[in-house]
């Protein structure tokens, strides 16, 4: 509710969060955990589970085959690094890692390719999800951000 009820920051200029939020240079405010040379890692503002991360190139590109070698290499390195942070911070039992390319594939932001890293735990689907169609998030985005920043330091 804290996230939903907070007023709009007015920081969106292009309508592409993967351009606008890094360009705002307010990483903690926008939950950007890591900046590389060509790509970055941030918390998903509408997570499936606590610690749900997004990895995206700084450059707006919609398809994997349009990415350059540096972007492709760094994205994979950041995914591996982020899995380590999540293991340190949350000790999940597994992960879902993937990309939805194109609106037909479920991409919420089809103009900017991005990867999802979703930590999973045995039994993390319960009656709230299966019957109520609702996810229960026991931790705020701010707390998740602080926990993952601490994991980066280890």
114 flagged as catalytic: yes
Q: Which residue among 30, 52, 112, 114 is the active-site one? A: 114
C-alpha 69/C-alpha 86 separation (Å) is 26
Neighbouring CB atoms inside 10 A of 98's CB total 12
Q: Which of 101, 141, 94 is nearest to 118 (CA)?
A: 94
C-alpha 9/C-alpha 101 separation (Å) is 28
C-alpha 31/C-alpha 42 separation (Å) is 5
Positive or negative: CA dihedral 46, 48, 51, 54: negative
Could you give the residue numbers annotated as active site?
114
């Amino acid at each position: 509710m804290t996230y939903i009820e907070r007023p709009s920051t007015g920081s969106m200029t292009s309508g592409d969060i993967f351009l606008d939020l890094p360009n705002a240079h307010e990483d903690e405010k926008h939950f950007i955990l890591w900046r590389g040379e060509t790509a970055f890692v941030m918390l998903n503002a509408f997570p499936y589970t606590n610690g749900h991360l997004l990895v995206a190139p700084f450059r707006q590109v919609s398809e994997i085959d349009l990415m350059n070698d540096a972007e492709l290499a760094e994205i994979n390195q950041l995914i591996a690094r982020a899995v380590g942070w999540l293991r340190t911070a949350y000790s999940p039992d597994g992960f879902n890692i993937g990309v939805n390319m194109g609106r037909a594939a479920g991409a919420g932001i089809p103009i900017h390719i991005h990867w999802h890293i979703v930590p999973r735990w045995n039994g993390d689907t319960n009656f709230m999800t299966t019957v109520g169609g609702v996810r229960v998030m026991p931790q705020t985005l701010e707390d998740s951000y602080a926990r993952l920043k601490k994991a980066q330091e280890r």
